[in-house]
């Protein structure tokens, strides 16, 4: 059975936490993880690019010259796409949808693969009795130094009720907080160290 090391806030090693093999010890599926990261990136992309069509560009109400007998090609508006300053054809509208669909089974496989890869790399640790009576960044930094992870890119996967912990560390560079229900595959893969609690591990196992 897979397991991870557990420390207290002083950096002393405690009893390890056992993990479910079907979630934290599978053979990582690279294609599933790749597809899921594409899905997550696409679904957070905002369609903010916008160009004006010939109907939105200012001006162009009059016909530039009469229809016949000028020797020029017939034109109806100086805001046609072929004119300088004219509207754009087939440009971004600002409402385009970039979402990518992914099967639920593939998404679950991607989560399990990402977690299993991090366990395999010994990049997931647990902290016992992780809580602060009040928000204190000084104590939070001291805890990271005690566990010797203060120079890593950290992802805390903890429950939402640990509000003081989040407030203590959210303004520290390279520290990110997620709950078991909001963490994404890309969050798991880009972290150098993932910090969990016994309770958040149980919630992750219940989710997948």
Same-domain check for residues 134 and 163: yes
Each residue's pLDDT tens digit, 149-179: 988 899 999 988 889 999 999 999 999 999 9
Same-domain check for residues 168 and 121: yes
> Of 96, 112, 132, which closes a domain?
96
Same-domain check for residues 56 and 122: no
Same-domain check for residues 26 and 70: no
Same-domain check for residues 58 and 80: yes
Q: Count how many domains the chain has.
A: 2
pLDDT of residue 105 exceeding 80, the answer is yes
Each residue's pLDDT tens digit, 171-207: 999 999 999 999 999 999 999 999 999 999 999 988 8
Range of the domain at 178: 3-45+98-207
> Of 65, 96, 127, which closes a domain?
96
Same-domain check for residues 91 and 161: no
Same-domain check for residues 82 and 160: no
Please state, in angstroms and rounded to a whole number, the distance separating the CA atoms of residues 200 and 178. Answer: 10
Q: Which residues pair with 125 in a beta bridge?
A: 195
> Of 80, 96, 112, which closes a domain?
96
Same-domain check for residues 38 and 58: no
């Amino acid at each position: 059975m897979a397991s991870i090391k557990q420390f207290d806030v002083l950096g002393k090693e405690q009893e390890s936490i056992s993990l479910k093999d079907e979630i934290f010890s599978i053979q990582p599926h690279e294609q599933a993880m790749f597809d899921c990261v594409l899905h997550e990136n696409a679904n957070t992309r905002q369609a903010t690019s916008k160009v004006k069509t010939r109907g939105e560009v200012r001006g162009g109400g009059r016909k530039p010259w009469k229809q016949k007998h000028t020797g020029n090609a017939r034109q109806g508006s100086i805001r046609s796409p072929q004119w300088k300053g004219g509207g754009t054809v087939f440009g971004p509208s600002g409402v385009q949808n970039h979402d990518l669909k992914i099967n639920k089974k593939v998404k679950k496989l991607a989560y399990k693969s990402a977690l299993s890869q991090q366990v395999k790399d010994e990049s997931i640790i647990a902290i016992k009795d992780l809580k602060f009576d009040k928000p204190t960044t000084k104590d939070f930094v001291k805890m990271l130094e005690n566990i010797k992870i203060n120079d890593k890119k950290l992802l805390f996967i903890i429950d939402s009720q640990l509000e003081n912990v989040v407030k203590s560390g959210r303004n520290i560079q390279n520290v990110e907080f997620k709950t078991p229900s909001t963490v994404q595959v890309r969050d798991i893969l880009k972290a150098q160290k993932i910090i969990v609690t016994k309770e958040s591990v149980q919630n992750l196992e219940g989710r997948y």
